[in-house]
Amino acid sequence: MRKIAIILQISLLLFFTFSFSNAEEKIRIGVSTVLTGDAATYGIDIKNVLQFANDKIANGKYELIFEDDRCTGKDSVAIAHRFVNVLNLKYVIGFACSSTVLSTANIYEKAGVLTMITVASAAEIANAGDYIFRTWPSDDKAALKLYEEAASKFKKIGIISEETDYAQAFLNSFLSANNDKKIEIINDNYLPETNDFRTLILKMKNENVDALFINSQSEASFLNVLQQVKSVAWEVQILSAYWSGTSAVLGKAAGLVENNIFVDLPSPEEALTEEGKKLFAEFKDKYGGLKSVDLIFGTAFEAFRALHMAIESGQETRKFLYQQKFNGVFGNWNFDENGEIKGLNFLMKEIKDGKPTRIS
């Protein structure tokens, strides 16, 4: 009897030792994204997709350590130092805001931390470093697409731009596309804390611009400007990037964005494979859908897939990512020599009857 008891004790000890060992073997991945404030819809969407991908692709193999970077350089730098110097992480993913990438890329690059960007889109990120990879196309491509559409329809355009890394980078790409001065552009900026835009709006109205490009950092800022445009009884064609067609904006102000022209990524219906659509439906059943841009499902899911495959490959992860061809939820894609996604392109859309409709 005593012998049986000893055997049971040893068995239980081995069981718990094995269990704890397995728990300790979970690979930790840092997630830096915005979870509070005006841009939180993007960060929460990223968080939900990464959790879903961890379950579906890796069977929960990874411990995802979420930190709220508040879409600011200051907070993201503090998080980067914690991830690198305190937690000694080798992998980081997330990043809804360009400022959080541009503020921390040198920290992650110097430490050799593989960094996967799911949404941040400023053109400068392409040159951020050899350990920096991105599954969202660069804004220079989006700005060129929007410019070409605008230049084909309007002679004089007003631009109101927020003073953030993302919005200013988009503005610079848009202005660069107009090197031949094909259209006249009237440009002005505003600080992120601005709430009263009437002076800027009336300036643009007095300039008799044919269209107004609201170049904001977030949906909240975009809606604030748009509501004040309508409040001065100015019927002007509105241009934007992304915000006109997001679920949050359409849910709050579909009437305000009717006829808006904007550049965007393809909808899930346009971009996802049949398998991708099934996964997206499963995600929506579990998390209730996305609050920001629907294709974040694809870009965040594929970023996680690429990172998981690189870790599992047994190869040097950076080299693996540069060489690998992926077949994912939006078909075939890969990273170019700058770690930028190839295989996902921008479209022009217009809001018709409260819904985004592709125009080119």
Domain spans in the chain, listed from the N-terminal domain onward? 22-137+270-342, 140-264
Weakest mean pLDDT among 145-159, 243-257, 268-282: 243-257
Which pLDDT does position 196 carry in this prediction?
A: 97
Which pLDDT does position 247 carry in this prediction?
A: 87
Taking residues 312-330, what's their average pLDDT?
97
Euclidean distance between CA atoms 30 and 79, whole angstroms: 9
Query: Residues 356, 349: contact at Cβ < 8 Å?
Result: yes
Which pLDDT does position 15 carry in this prediction?
A: 52
Taking only the tens place, the pLDDT of each residue in 103-161 is 999 999 999 999 999 999 999 999 999 999 999 999 999 999 999 999 999 999 999 99
Does the fold of domain 140-264 match that of domain 22-137+270-342? Answer: yes
Which pLDDT does position 258 carry in this prediction?
A: 96
Superfamily the domain 140-264 falls into: Response regulator (3.40.50.2300)
User: Domain 22-137+270-342 - what CATH class?
Assistant: alpha beta
H-type alpha helices, 25-138: 40-58, 73-81, 98-111
Taking residues 237-258, what's their average pLDDT?
93
Alpha-carbon Rg for the chain, nearest whole angstrom, is 23
pTM value? 0.86
Of 327, 326, 309, residue with least CA distance to 318: 309
Average pLDDT, the chain: 93
Helix axes 98-111, 165-177, angle to 10 degrees: 100
Looking at per-residue pLDDT, the higher value among 38 and 159 belongs to: 159
Euclidean distance between CA atoms 38 and 17, whole angstroms: 45
